[in-house]
Structure 1
Amino acid sequence: MNLSVIWKLFKKEAELVQNDHSVLLALLVAPLLYFLLMGSTYINKDEEQVSVGIVDLDQTKSSKAFLNKVNATQKIAITKTYTNFLEAKCGLNEFEIQGIINIPNGFEKKLKKNESSPIGLILINTKFLSSNDINKAVNLVAIDYALEARQKFFESKGINPSFAKQKANPITAQVNAVYNPTNNYGNFLLPALLILILHQTLLIGLSESVSSDRKNGLMTIGFEESKNNVINYIFGKTGFYLILYTAYMLLTYFVVFPFFDLPIKGSIFSLIIVSILFLFTTLLYGWFVTSFFKSQVRAMEVMAFTSYPIFLITGITWSVSEMPLFLQFISNLIPLKPFFTFLKKVTIMGVDSNLYYEEIIHLLILLLIGYIATFLRLNYLKKQRMTLKSVIK
C-alpha cells in the first residue's frame, strides 16, 4: 500500500466528482434534499388527534361522560356527530373520519344493572397506525369506565369504597413499555430512513463514477496511476466517498438526530466506528456490482430501482424469520441488515456492547466478502486491459 499513490487517486476522484454534475448532484444535493423532505414528513413522529365520528343512540349522562373521556385522550379527537350509523358510514367512506364509536340505546340502563353493554367500534384499517391508536384509546377508556361503574355498583350494595374498588378489578396488569415508551412511529422509522438515504445516494454517486471510468477508459489510467496495485486503487478510489459520507454520518448523528429529537442511548463512539465500517462495506459492494456496467444511466437505474426491495428485506419493516428461506439468505448478504439491527440497539435501546457484537462480526464478514469480490473483479479487469493493450501493440 502506497499512501502517496492513494492520495493522488483521492484527489483525482474529488476532481472527477466536482466536474461531473450528475455525480455532484447525487452526492451533495440529493442527501440534503432527502433529509429535508423525509425529516419534514415525520417531524411530529407520531399522529395525534385522530379524527373520530360518534353515533350516540343513548343520549344519556353516562354515554356523554364516556365520550367526553374518549375525547380527552391525547390520540383521539371527536370531530363529527352523526344521528345514525348509515350517515356515519358515509363519513367513513369519504375519509371525513378514521373511525366510528357507536353507543347503542340502553347503554346507561345496562350499566346501572351491572350488565354487559357493548360499544360498537368501526375502524379504517387502511391506515393501521391510526386505527391502532383509536382501538387502544377507546379500549383503555372502556376498561376504566367499566371499572368505575362496577365499583359504584358494589358501593351501592353497602361495600366500603376501597374493598369495592378491589372487588371491581381483582386482576390488574402492570405494563411497562421500554425503549420506545411513547410508542411513536418516528423514533422507530426515521433513523432507518436517514441511513437509507445516505446508503442509496452513496451507491448512486459511486455507480455513476465507476461506470464513467469504464466507459471512458479511465480505469486503465487508474490502474497505471496506482502502479497496477489493486489495493492502492481500491483505497484511492473509495477514500473520497468514505470521508464525505463519514462527514454526512457525523452530521446525521450530531445535528439531524438532535433536531428531530431522536435518541442515541448507547455509545456514540461505537456508533461512529461501526458506521464507518458499514460505509466501507457498502462501497465495496457497490463497486463490485457497478463494475459490470459501462453506462452511467444503466448503473444508476440498477442502484436506484433496487433500493426499495432491499429495504423491505432488511428486517426493518418485517421480521426476517417470517420471510422465505431464499430471501433470508439474501438479506444476510446485505450490509443494511446487520447495521439496522445495530442502529436500533445503540440508538433506541442503548444496550451494552456485548449485545451487539454479533452485528459487528456480521458486518466484518460482509466487508471481507466485499473486499475479496472487488479485489478479484478489479484484478480481472486489470489483466483484461493489459492483455488488450499487448494485443494492440
Structure 2
Amino acid sequence: MLREWCRELRAAFVAEFKADGCLNKTALLLLVCLPLIYTILLGAAYSANVLNNIPVVVCDLQQSKISRQVVSNYDTSDRFTVVKHVGTQEELLKAIENGEAKVGLYIEPALDKNIKTAKPAEIGIYIEASNMVYGSASLVASEEINLNLLVSGSQRILERMTYYPDRALRTAYPATYGVRILNNPTHGYCNFMLLGLICNGVQISLFLYAADIFFKNRRKDWQFKSALLLGKLLAIELISGLAFSLSILLAQELFAVPLRGAWYEFLALEAAFIFFFAGLGMMLSLAFPNPILMIQESLLFIMPGMLYSGLSWPNEWLSTLPAYIRVIFPITYLAMPMRDLSLLGWSDLLVKNIGILAGAGLVCFSAAYLLLRHRAWQEVEV
C-alpha cells in the first residue's frame, strides 16, 4: 500500500516537469517565465524612481533681477526644465492644457514694487495634476524652491537694515530642518512598488497554471488522491518557489531593490503563499466545469486584491468596510510583509501571515481532496 502511494506521488510530481515524455512547457512558461518577465517589465517602468526635468512654461511680466532669479532657480533645479516663455497668463494656461508643460510659473508685473513697499507679492504656480505622480512631484519640488527664495529674499532685506549676513540668515530662517528619509533612502517608486507587483505576477501565474491542472489528459485512474495532490503541490512549490526567488534576486540586481531581511524569512513567506495558491487553484479547478470559467472567476478575485493589499494605499487609512473586505484577498498577507522585509529588514506581520496562509492552504487542499473523491476524472499515466 505504501509502495503504491509513493509510486503515485512520484508520478504526480514528475508529471509537472514532463508531459507525455517531453518538458512541461506550460509549467516553464507560466510558473517560471511569467514572473521573471513581470519583474523585468515592471522594474524597467519604475527604474527612474523619481521624476526629473518636469517641463515648465514661464510668464514673467516683471522682467527684473528678482524675477529672473526666480525663473533661474526653477530652470537649474533637477526637477524642472523651462521649455517655453509666454507673454500672458492665458498663453500660460493654454500651454499647460495642450500638454507643452506640466507646470506654469506666473510672475506678476508689480513684483519688485510690492516687495520694496512690503505689500503682498504673488508668484503663481500652476500644476497640471491629472497625473498624480507629476502633481505630487511638482508640488514638493516647488515648495522647496519657494522656501529657498523666501529665505534668501528675507536675508537680503535684513542685510540692507544693517544686519550682518549670519545674523540676517538666522533671523530669516531661525530653525534649520534636517530631513533624513529612513528605510527608503532614494525615496523611489521602484523600492516601494516592485516587490508587491512581483507578488501579483506570481499569483496570476499560479492561477493560470492551476486552471487546467485537472482538465487535460484524463486517462489514468489514480488510486490515492492524497498522493496526487501532494505530488502536484511539491512540484509547484519547487518550480514556482524557484521562479519567485529568482524574480526577487532580479529586482535586487537589476533595479537595486534592497533586501534587508533574512533569506529564510523571504523563503518561508514565499512557500506559504505558493502553498495557499496551489491549493486554491486546485480547488477552483475542480469546482468549475471548465478552465475558461475558472480563469474568468479568478480574475474577478485577483484584480481588487491589488487595491486592498496596501500597495497603493495604506491599510491603516482604510475605512471599516474595506478593512473587512481586504481579509479575503491573499496578496494582502504577502505584499506588506514582503515589502517590510525588503525595506525594514523585519516584519511584525510575518509569523501571523504565514500562519494564515498555511491554514487557508490546508482548508483549500482539504476541499480539493473531497472534490477529487466525489468527482469522476482521470489523468494521463506517466
Please give the TM-score of this superposition, normalised by the length of structure 2. 0.89
CA distance in 2, matches of 1:171, 1:115: 25
2:372 paired residue among 363, 381, 392: 381
Unaligned stretches of 5+ residues in structure 2 = 378-382
Tell me the residue number matched to 1:119: 123
CA displacement 1:48-95 (0-9 Å, x = unmatched): 111111111111111111111112222111112111111111111111
Tell me the residue number matched to 1:280: 275
Tell me the residue number matched to 1:157: 161
CA distance in 2, matches of 1:113, 1:180: 45
Percent of aligned positions that are identical: 17
Deviation at 1:240, TM superposition (A): 1.7
CA distance in 2, matches of 1:332, 1:250: 25
Residue 312 of structure 1 pairs with residue 331 of structure 2: no
**Would the aligned equivalents of 1:46 and 1:186 in 2 still touch at CA under 8 Å?**
no
Secondary structure of 2:47's counterpart equals: coil
Deviation at 1:146, TM superposition (A): 1.1
Tell me the residue number matched to 1:360: 351
Tell me the residue number matched to 2:34: 30
Tell me the residue number matched to 1:391: none
CA distance in 1, matches of 2:191, 2:174: 36
Match of 1:336, as an amino acid? I
**Would the aligned equivalents of 1:208 and 1:300 in 2 still touch at CA under 8 Å?**
no
Secondary structure of 1:209's counterpart equals: coil
**Would the aligned equivalents of 2:56 and 2:102 in 1 still touch at CA under 8 Å?**
yes
**Is the alpha carbon distance of 1:45 and 1:165 closer, same or farther for their aligned partners in structure 2, counting shifts above 3 Å?**
closer
Deviation at 1:373, TM superposition (A): 3.2
Q: Give aligned pairs, total.
A: 373
**Is the alpha carbon distance of 1:29 and 1:246 closer, same or farther for their aligned partners in structure 2, counting shifts above 3 Å?**
closer
Deviation at 1:150, TM superposition (A): 0.9
Deviation at 1:114, TM superposition (A): 4.6
Residue 243 of structure 1 pairs with residue 234 of structure 2: no
Residue 221 of structure 1 pairs with residue 221 of structure 2: yes
Residue 207 of structure 1 pairs with residue 211 of structure 2: yes
**Would the aligned equivalents of 2:89 and 2:106 in 1 still touch at CA under 8 Å?**
yes
Map of 1:1-393 to 2, 5 A cutoff?
Answer: 3-16=6-19, 25-210=29-214, 212-213=215-216, 217=218, 221-222=221-222, 224=223, 227-228=224-225, 230=226, 232-323=227-318, 325-351=320-346, 356-385=347-376
CA distance in 2, matches of 1:305, 1:257: 31
CA distance in 2, matches of 1:87, 1:365: 58
**Is the alpha carbon distance of 1:157 and 1:325 closer, same or farther for their aligned partners in structure 2, counting shifts above 3 Å?**
closer
**Is the alpha carbon distance of 1:4 and 1:314 closer, same or farther for their aligned partners in structure 2, counting shifts above 3 Å?**
same
CA distance in 1, matches of 2:364, 2:35: 28
**Is the alpha carbon distance of 1:289 and 1:380 closer, same or farther for their aligned partners in structure 2, counting shifts above 3 Å?**
closer
**Would the aligned equivalents of 2:55 and 2:101 in 1 still touch at CA under 8 Å?**
yes
Please give the TM-score of this superposition, normalised by the length of structure 1. 0.86
CA distance in 2, matches of 1:333, 1:56: 55
Deviation at 1:11, TM superposition (A): 0.6
Deviation at 1:236, TM superposition (A): 0.7
Deviation at 1:25, TM superposition (A): 4.1
**Would the aligned equivalents of 2:305 and 2:332 in 1 still touch at CA under 8 Å?**
no
CA displacement 1:210-259 (0-9 Å, x = unmatched): 3x15xx646x734x2xx24x2x2322112222111111122122233211
CA distance in 2, matches of 1:370, 1:28: 21
**Would the aligned equivalents of 2:107 and 2:123 in 1 still touch at CA under 8 Å?**
yes
Unaligned stretches of 5+ residues in structure 1 = 387-393
Deviation at 1:16, TM superposition (A): 3.7
CA displacement 1:294-333 (0-9 Å, x = unmatched): 3122222223443321211111112334445444233223
**Is the alpha carbon distance of 1:203 and 1:316 closer, same or farther for their aligned partners in structure 2, counting shifts above 3 Å?**
same
